[in-house]
A and B are shown apart, each in its own frame.
Chain A
């Protein structure tokens, strides 16, 4: 498996400011990480696939200039919500898969999630 740590777990910010969320793979070198967003009482929606050393792949409808993703190393991916607005308030959760290793099922290992509240 993989242990994924996400920070901060909760953040409150004013409208118009930027917020950075870190996702660390503590015991696995992750060339790919996935970022999801979850609104209250809804499902997880894939925002983007973070690729180590290259640009992230964004899902349709996700603004790449608003949600900046950087995957500078095999253990760290960051999501920056730029010029945050109240509608960006959500639960953001990152994940790692160990697919490619022999015998693994390829399930996602999730961070603890970051709850963003924009005032």
Chain B
């Protein structure tokens, strides 16, 4: 069963607007971590933000924030004041457990395009 679901294959947003990228997950573990990565056309994977399952507050990193709804098992990424450089693929990912052997699996991704 797919454990990370991103239902938006592609999104177009006007520059300077805020955008929300959806992510839902499925796990029976109590301890898990949720991540968002950005992948520009160059292929590199850029870590954006992390939310631990026990974190009570939503994570924020600059223009990025994670809307963590634990009961709904959702971890949406919010990008405020979007910029042209935000155009890229965005992946939601999850780690079950907290050990060096804990695997991180990725969702199918959302391609975000920012219009000038």
Contact = CB atoms under 8 A, between A and B. Distances in A.
B107 A106 contact: no
A75 interface: no
A106 B108 contact: no
Judged by DSSP, the binding face of A is strand
B34 to A, nearest CB: 10
Given A100-B99, A106-B95, A44 B106 contact: yes
Given A32-B100, A43-B107, A106-B33, A113 B95 contact: no
B68 interface: no
Interface stretch (B13-21, B22-30, B42-50, B77-85): B42-50
Contact of A42 (B43, B99, B104, B108): B108
A49 interface: yes
A118 B26 CA distance: 36
B1 interface: no
A82 to B, nearest CB: 24
A31 interface: yes
A118 B104 CA distance: 28
Given A32-B100, A105-B50, A106-B33, A46 B45 contact: no
Interface string B94-116: 01001111111111110000000
Given A43-B108, A44-B91, A44-B106, A99 B98 contact: yes
Contacts of B44: 110, 112-113
Interface of B: 33, 35, 43-45, 47, 50, 52, 91, 93, 95, 98-109
Given A105-B50, A108-B45, A110-B45, 11 more contacts: A36-B106, A43-B91, A43-B106, A99-B98, A106-B95, A106-B98, A107-B47, A108-B47, A112-B43, A113-B44, A115-B43
